[in-house]
Amino acid sequence: MAKDMLLPKDPRYLKYPLEGPFDEEKARWTAFNCSRCSVCKWVDSWRVKSAKYARICPQHTKFMYDSHSAQGKCDLALALIDGKMKWDEDPEIKDILFQCTMCGGCDAMDKSVRDAELIKMYRWLRTEYVKRFGPLPEHKGMLDSLKQYDNVWVQPRVKRNSWVKDLKDLGIKDLNKDKADVLLFVGCTYGLSDELKGTVVNMAKILKKLGVDFGTLGDKEMCCGSPPSKTGNMGEFERLGKANIKKFNELGVKTILTPCAGCYGTIRVEYEELGEKMNFEVLHVTEYIERLTKEKKIEYKKEIPISVTWHDPCHMGRMGRPYVPGKDLEGVYEEPRNILKNIPGVELVEMERIKEYAWCCGGGGGAFTGFKDFAQWTAQQRLEEAKDTGADILVTSCPWCETNLRAGGIGMEEKMEIVDIFDLMMEAL
Amino acid sequence: MENISRHEKHNEIFRAFESALGKGNVKDNPATVNAYFGDWLPPKILGQSIPPEFVVLPNGTMETQTVVRICNRYKLPFVPVGSNQWSLSTAPTLPGTVIIDSKRMKELIEIDEDNMFAVIEPYLTVAQLHAEANKRGLYIGSPEASAQSSALAGHTFQGLWGVAYRLGVAFRNVLGMEWVLPDGEILRTGTFSMDPDCGYWGKGPGPDLRGMMRGYCGALGGIGMITKMAVKLHPYPGPKVWPAEGHIPNMTTTMPKDRFHWELIKFDDLEGAANYMYEVGKAEIGGVVQKWPTVYYNWWWANSNEEYWTEWQKRTFQDNVKHTVGTCLWGFTSDEQLKYEKRVLEDIIKDTGGRRVKQEIYDMWIPRAANNWIRDTNGSRMMRPAGTFLALTLASDTIRSSVNLVKEGYKRVEKFSPPILDCDGPDWIGTYDFSHFGFAETDFPVEKTPEDIGDLMGKLLGMVKEDLQNNVECGIGPFLGGPYHGMAGPVFKYDKLLKGIKRAIDPNLVSNPPHNIPMED
């Protein structure tokens, strides 16, 4: 063969275009190179364990039409970019683009056969949609809250600090005044939800038991920017992201710890898009605890005879690492499992769909606030899968997953208790 | 009817579908239908396909029958789709087309463990059926198009999955069928004709009607829609859960060593490889016997595009697996069987002058890629290096003729490069039914541009026509469906039969015309 025939003449085929912002050209590349293989709709074939739990995409499973799959969104993107369809031609464009939990299931499965980033394409599509028509009415309240309070839950800033006030004797530092190497970034949902307040308290106590010198930003903490980033409101994402990076750098902390999967994935992966230098590492609290317990064993005092199943939050797993073509889609998978296995009496039983091929809880991508029925239907599918394991409880570590799974479980006949990993740990301590 | 406007007629048809299927189960909006006219190859890229007018989701045979009757009433072409994966013929080309999407027909209705068969609906994938069968110690093959394809549709098509060498190509495993004919009549074949709940036996009263839907590449939607099928399952000596390890994209599978054993045996030339394949078949051993082209090794192995092209430039596979046959021995009945087959294979290797590939190459390929021929997951990697792939020659005949055919294929590849990219000898020769026949295909990466694909498709069509003028069937033609049969039928004198069948069951010519044969006359 002649030398000039060795490689494709268009270098874009040689290498996935990673450099630079994800723009229209990259979106078109991603859409055009969809081969309609349907990998995006199913759990990787080697990981399918039953007919019942073979699906990966909540949107496609629920709405069935191929337009509501990654393949359909590639078709739609191509039509919109090439001018074959107008953005205002069909009101259902909104549902196709936004009635999706942005869980990354399709994106992960797709990466088994090609180099592409579907979630980045979805975010680009949503951003373009919002540029033309403004934020979705369903997301308007969340955005107004961010602008006014820097959180998504329409809560006053001072409330963020309420859980720390009860723990004065623990010596949790206020990093607005004090210095520490570790910043605990609690996130809007853990920080402001009355229901989840106890979990944050337990987590802080565990960190202290392990001797961690950490502090918080108290009422100065701002949203990580995940909700606007996922719902096409990039201006708001940039405002929050850049402010957070600046703050973290100014504090001089070495490590940002967060118990929230959404914050974790956003800070770790999406902040890279902002082009700011970040002088810190980002860890999920379970990662950090597992790292510490390799050196210093946690002494559990109580046995908890219970079987548990672990739900992998999308943003801790397949969405929690920057994409490098050819490299494993790693995530925080083993750390929480190791923690659970070490709690005396706890038996871990796995669901069929786990790790990068886990079924989403339904709460992400703006679905929780914008499309409740769909979000809760997705949760019910997950709860049914959890029940099929025979486990007594479902354990996870994401406030969005916990809240949405609980909401989804309300209408179900057989209940499944949802427990945060830090609450379970604390019970044994 | 003639007096009503097109818009009114559209609305009337919409209401008819909605009345039959329920709200939400018919759509006609641009954003939905836009997802149903793409194809993995030329039609959309070359501007030959158009969006359908409706997409409908019937649930079960009776609703499908109603949809088909509505299509007949309004003389609307319809296209039945299974998983809609790598679709060859489901991109509409005629205005007013109705896509019959099988998403609501997704059930594994039954697995009869004693009699080793399953009853399936169209949207059940091979991987789903595989997983359920494996739990019960049973097996179903997996096409190289990946196991997320429809198991039912796969059984109406080529069905040349790896273990078909031992267990028979997929269409030989079809038992009873429930089938909505193009005119809306329901045909039940095999024992379904006597008992709609029992399909264990493929034959029934009268002639065997399975031939209607088969042929080399199936009927491509031209003879109605099969809504239920009973398929054979086979004894499986593997684990109940597929033993995958690692994370995407770097997953591996190691099958139990006491029941499965892979060999990669290299020969000096293709003839040597063919002799070996014959001898393995004559000895009636093995579960998979495949001679893959070097591009396959790289396609299935590489975890990224960069890895593909880097490894290709290093010539890792080209220099080590040329004329190599992959053989997987299965201890179907016991580990003793596997030991016996290993001994027999050792003699065959010696007698045919084969030699094992380097251990490092074996270790690279086997865990990451080879077991895709038992359950495929990475078939779509074929698209990655250049955007798509094409085949120029392809045929089912003897193993010997396959060798000749791929050599002819080399010449064509040389002639048309570029846009065909560097692909070494693109000679896939699979053997099936204990080497009773060989399947040959020349596969290579092609840049996914309208110019390059259009150019190659034009050449391919020219080759098909030239072959037909010389009374030769080159094999790739049947993949074109109706248009090919329109050209080849008169040459090989089967056009009257196909047209007679089409006329009898599709009087309004609504079932995915021009498939299975054009009826212009």
Q: Are residues A113 and A72 in the same domain?
A: yes
CATH code of B40's domain = 3.30.43.10
Tokens of A159: 């409330």
Residue of B nearest to A331 (CA): B247
Q: Are residues A124 and A237 in the same domain?
A: no
Q: Are residues B350 and B406 in the same domain?
A: yes
Are A35 and B388 inside 8 Å of each other by CB?
yes
Are B108 and A42 inside 8 Å of each other by CB?
no
CA distance A44 to chain B (A): 7
Residue of A nearest to B29 (CA): A90
Q: Are residues B313 and B176 in the same domain?
A: no
For chain B, the distance separating the N- and C-terminal CA atoms, rounded to the nearest angstrom, is: 26
d(CA A267, CA A226): 8
In a domain, A367, yes or no: yes
CATH code of B190's domain = 3.30.465.10
Q: Are residues B272 and B392 in the same domain?
A: yes
CA distance A76 to chain B (A): 7
Q: Are residues A314 and A265 in the same domain?
A: no
In a domain, B520, yes or no: no
| Res A215 pLDDT > 60 | yes
Q: Are residues B112 and B217 in the same domain?
A: yes
In a domain, A2, yes or no: no
Give A60-82 pLDDT, tens digit per residue: 999 999 999 999 999 999 999 99
Q: Are residues A400 and A310 in the same domain?
A: yes
The string of DSSP letters for A253-291 reads -SEEEES-HHHHHHHHTGGGGGT----SEEEEHHHHHHH
**Of B55, B148, B445, Cβ closest to residue A42:** B148
User: What's the per-residue H, E or C state across B243-305?
Assistant: CEECCCCCCEECCCCCCEEEEEEECCCHHHHHHHHHHHHHCCCCCEEEECCHHHHHHHHCCCH
Residue for token pair 């759509």: B27
| Structural domain span for residue A35 | 16-133
Edge-to-edge strand ranges of the sheet holding A173-174: A173-174, A214-216, A182-184, A255-258, A281-284
Q: Are residues A120 and A160 in the same domain?
A: no
Q: Are residues B125 and B223 in the same domain?
A: yes
CA distance B320 to chain A (A): 18
Q: What is the pLDDT of residue A84?
A: 95
**Of A36, A50, A89, Cβ closest to residue B85:** A36
**Of B250, B388, B417, Cβ closest to residue A328:** B250
User: Which residues have CB under 8 Å from B191's CB, separation 6+?
Assistant: B175, B176, B198, B199, B200, B201, B204
User: What's A141's DSSP letter?
Assistant: H
d(CA B444, CA B299): 10
Contact yes or no for A371/A98 (Cβ under 8 A): yes
Tens digits of pLDDT across chain B (521 residues): 556 898 999 999 999 999 999 999 999 999 999 999 887 766 677 778 899 999 999 999 999 999 999 999 999 999 999 988 766 678 898 999 999 999 999 999 999 999 999 999 999 999 999 999 999 999 998 888 789 999 999 999 888 899 999 999 888 899 999 999 999 999 999 989 888 888 888 887 788 888 888 767 888 899 999 999 999 999 999 999 999 999 999 999 999 999 999 999 999 999 999 999 999 999 999 999 999 999 999 999 999 988 998 898 899 999 999 999 999 999 999 999 999 999 999 999 999 999 999 999 999 999 999 999 999 999 999 988 888 888 888 888 899 999 998 888 888 888 888 778 888 888 999 999 999 989 999 998 888 888 888 888 888 888 888 889 988 877 778 888 888 899 999 999 999 999 999 999 999 999 999 999 999 75
User: Which residues have CB under 8 Å from A213's CB, separation 6+?
Assistant: A173, A180, A181, A182
Beta strands at B324-330 and B174-180: parallel, antiparallel or unpaired: unpaired
Q: How confident is the model at residue A12 (pLDDT cuts 50, 70, 90)?
A: very low
Q: Are residues B253 and B351 in the same domain?
A: yes
Residue count of chain A: 429
d(CA B66, CA B20): 7
User: Which residues have CB under 8 Å from B462's CB, separation 6+?
Assistant: none
Q: Are residues A171 and A253 in the same domain?
A: yes
Closest CA to B362 of B460, B254, B278: B254
B270-286 residues labelled b (16+ CB within 10 A) or e (exposed): bebbbbbbbbbbeeebb
Residue of B nearest to A64 (CA): B103
Residue for token pair 């955005």: A143
In a domain, B481, yes or no: no
In a domain, B488, yes or no: no
Are A33 and B383 inside 8 Å of each other by CB?
yes
A contact test, residue of B104, B241, B377 with most A CBs within 10 A: B377
Are A65 and B27 inside 8 Å of each other by CB?
yes
Reduced to 3 states (helix: H, G, I; strand: E, B; else coil), residue B327 is strand
CA distance A98 to chain B (A): 13
User: What's B357's DSSP letter?
Assistant: P
The string of DSSP letters for B435-462 reads TTEEEEEEEEEEE--HHHHHHHHHHHHH
Which amino acid type is present at position A362?
A: G
Task: Give backbone dihedrals phi and psi of B191, rounded to 5 degrees, phi first.
Answer: -70, -15
Q: Are residues A203 and A122 in the same domain?
A: no
Residue count of chain B: 521
B contact test, residue of A57, A63, A66 with most B CBs within 10 A: A66
Q: Are residues A148 and A247 in the same domain?
A: yes
Q: How confident is the model at residue A5 (pLDDT cuts 50, 70, 90)?
A: very low
Residue of B nearest to A330 (CA): B247
**Of B39, B57, B85, Cβ closest to residue A38:** B85
In a domain, B23, yes or no: yes
CATH code of A418's domain = 3.40.50.11810
The 10 Å Cβ neighbour count of residue B342 is 14
Q: With contacts defined as CB-CB under 8 Å, which chain A residues touch B383?
A: 33, 35, 37, 113-114
What mean pLDDT do residues A339-345 have?
95
In a domain, B491, yes or no: no
A contact test, residue of B21, B29, B32 with most A CBs within 10 A: B32
Are B55 and A65 inside 8 Å of each other by CB?
yes
d(CA B443, CA A297): 57
User: Which residues have CB under 8 Å from B459's CB, separation 6+?
Assistant: B416
Closest CA to A52 of A349, A409, A351: A351
Are B380 and A6 inside 8 Å of each other by CB?
no
Which of B34, B68, B101 is where one domain is finished?
B101
Q: Are residues B354 and B422 in the same domain?
A: yes
Q: Are residues B253 and B402 in the same domain?
A: yes
Are B104 and A64 inside 8 Å of each other by CB?
yes
Are B31 and A90 inside 8 Å of each other by CB?
yes
**Of A54, A67, A90, Cβ closest to residue B128:** A54
Q: How confident is the model at residue A3 (pLDDT cuts 50, 70, 90)?
A: very low
Q: Are residues B27 and B162 in the same domain?
A: no
In a domain, B500, yes or no: no
Contact yes or no for B327/B265 (Cβ under 8 A): yes
B contact test, residue of A1, A52, A65, A354 with most B CBs within 10 A: A65
Q: Where are the alpha helices (DSSP H) in B398-494?
A: 399-415, 450-469, 482-492
Q: Are residues A126 and A145 in the same domain?
A: no
In a domain, A8, yes or no: no
Q: Give B287's Cβ-side CA count (13 Å radius).
A: 29
Give A271-328 pLDDT, tens digit per residue: 999 999 999 999 999 999 999 888 777 889 999 999 999 999 999 999 999 999 999 9
Are B305 and A112 inside 8 Å of each other by CB?
no
Q: Are residues A216 and A343 in the same domain?
A: no
Which of B175, B203, B235 is where one domain is finished?
B235
Q: What is the pLDDT of residue A4?
A: 39
d(CA B402, CA B398): 6
Q: Is residue B508 left, alpha or beta, with left meaning phi > 0 and alpha meaning psi from -120 to 50? A: alpha
d(CA B364, CA B357): 11
Are A38 and B418 inside 8 Å of each other by CB?
no
What mean pLDDT do residues A260-264 have?
96
Which of A266, A292, A318 is where one domain is finished?
A292
The highest-confidence range among A24-28, A44-48, B413-417, by mean pLDDT, is: A44-48
Q: Are residues B333 and B271 in the same domain?
A: yes
Reduced to 3 states (helix: H, G, I; strand: E, B; else coil), residue B329 is strand
CATH code of B305's domain = 3.40.462.10
**Of A10, A47, A72, Cβ closest to residue B35:** A72
| Structural domain span for residue B170 | 108-235
Are A6 and B244 inside 8 Å of each other by CB?
no
Q: Are residues A385 and A308 in the same domain?
A: yes
Residue of A nearest to B36 (CA): A66
Q: Give bridge partners of residue B56 from the DSSP assignment.
A: B26, B100
User: Which residues have CB under 8 Å from B9's CB, separation 6+?
Assistant: B1, B74
B93-130 residues labelled b (16+ CB within 10 A) or e (exposed): bbebbbbbbbbbbbbbeebbeeebbbbbbbbbbbbbbb
**How many domains does chain B divide into?**
3
Q: What is the pLDDT of residue B205?
A: 79
Cis ω before B52 (30° cut-off from 0) = no
d(CA B471, CA B483): 17
Cα distances (angstroms) measured from residue B203 to each of B153, B167, B172, B495:
19, 19, 12, 25
Which of A99, A116, A133 is where one domain is finished?
A133
**Of A38, A51, A113, Cβ closest to residue B378:** A113
Q: Are residues B253 and B361 in the same domain?
A: yes
In a domain, A11, yes or no: no
Which of B67, B86, B101 is where one domain is finished?
B101
Q: With contacts defined as CB-CB under 8 Å, which chain A residues touch B104?
A: 64
CA distance A51 to chain B (A): 4
CA distance A21 to chain B (A): 20
In a domain, A85, yes or no: yes
**Mean residue pLDDT across chain A:** 93
Which amino acid type is present at position A249?
A: N
Cα distances (angstroms) measured from residue A347 to each of A199, A306, A391:
21, 6, 9
Query: For helices A234-251 and A137-149, what crossing angle results, to 10°?
Result: 30
CA distance B92 to chain A (A): 15
d(CA A386, CA A418): 10
**How many domains does chain A divide into?**
3
In a domain, A253, yes or no: yes
B contact test, residue of A36, A74, A373 with most B CBs within 10 A: A36
Q: Are residues B293 and B413 in the same domain?
A: yes
Q: Is residue B284 left, alpha or beta, with left meaning phi > 0 and alpha meaning psi from -120 to 50? A: left
CA distance A129 to chain B (A): 14
d(CA A129, CA A139): 13
Q: Are residues A153 and A126 in the same domain?
A: no
In a domain, A10, yes or no: no
In a domain, B380, yes or no: yes
Edge-to-edge strand ranges of the sheet holding B117-120: B108-112, B117-120, B225-232, B174-180, B186-189
CA distance B193 to chain A (A): 27
**Of A54, A66, A114, Cβ closest to residue B384:** A114
CA distance B151 to chain A (A): 12
In a domain, A380, yes or no: yes
What mean pLDDT do residues A393-406 have?
96
In a domain, B479, yes or no: no
Q: With contacts defined as CB-CB under 8 Å, which chain B residues touch A113?
A: 249, 378-381, 383-384
CA distance A364 to chain B (A): 22
Closest CA to A256 of A280, A226, A288: A280
Which of A97, A112, A133 is where one domain is finished?
A133
Tokens of B110: 């039954």
Torsion sign, CA atoms B242, B246, B251, B256: negative
Angle, alpha carbons A28-A30-A36 (nearest 5°): 115
